[in-house]
Amino acid sequence: MEPVIREENKIYAVGYSYEADWRRLCRIKDRAAYWSVIDFSTMNKTAYAGIENKCGTEIAFWLCKETGDFEMRFFFGERVEPVGNVANGMEVLEVPAAKYAIFTLDSQLETLGQAGYVQAIKDLWQYIFKEWFPGSGYRHDDEKCNFEVYSGNVMQIYVPVC
C-alpha cells in the first residue's frame, strides 16, 4: 500500500480530550483507534453536533502534556475551517503545517464489525512503521505528530515525513 505524500497547511479541530494511561500506550498499535476504548458519556453530544464550520472529517490525535512526565491526552473532534465559537468544555486543536505520508484504509465498518475495523487500523499502523518506512526513503519527522482522520467509511493515517 503506497501512501499519498502531501504538504498540509495548518489544520484546526474542535472537540474533546481525554486522559490516557501512557504506561499502557508505549507501542503505537496500542494507541491506534484509541477511540474504541473511550467512554464518551461525558461528551455533550448536542454541543459536538453543533460545532461550527465543520469540514466533514473527524480527527483522533495524541496530545503530550508539557510536564515532562509523559502524560498524554487523547483528542477527538471535528476538523473546522475557520474556528468558530467553541462550546464550554470543548477545546481547539491546532496541528502545525507539515509534509505527510497519508495512508488510507477504505473499509466498511459494517462489513468488518468494530473489532475487525479496529484490528485493521492497528495492522495499518504496524505496516507503516515496520514495512513502509524502512524501504520508503523517508524518515519520520519526530518534530510533528501522527494522527487519524475519519470521513464516512474512509479512515486515513497522517504520518509526518522528511
DSSP state, residue 123: H
Residue indicated by cell numbers 484546526:
12
Residue indicated by cell numbers 502524560:
71
The Cβ of residue 136 has, within 10 Å, a number of other Cβ atoms equal to 15
- State the CATH architecture for 4-160: Alpha-Beta Barrel (3.20)
pTM of this prediction?
A: 0.83
Which segments of the chain does DSSP mark as H helices, in order? Answer: 28-31, 45-49, 109-127, 133-136
Task: Give the span between the Cα atoms of 16 and 13, in whole angstroms.
Answer: 10
Average pLDDT value for the chain: 83
Burial (0-12, 13-18, 19+ Cβ within 10 Å), 60: buried
Domain ranges of the chain: 4-160
Nearest to 77 by CA among 152, 14, 35, 158: 14
Instruction: For residue range 130-159, list pLDDT tens digits in order.
Output: 999 999 999 999 888 889 898 987 889 999
Instruction: For residue range 14-23, list pLDDT tens digits in order.
Output: 999 877 665 5
Task: Give the span between the Cα atoms of 75 and 17, in whole angstroms.
Answer: 4
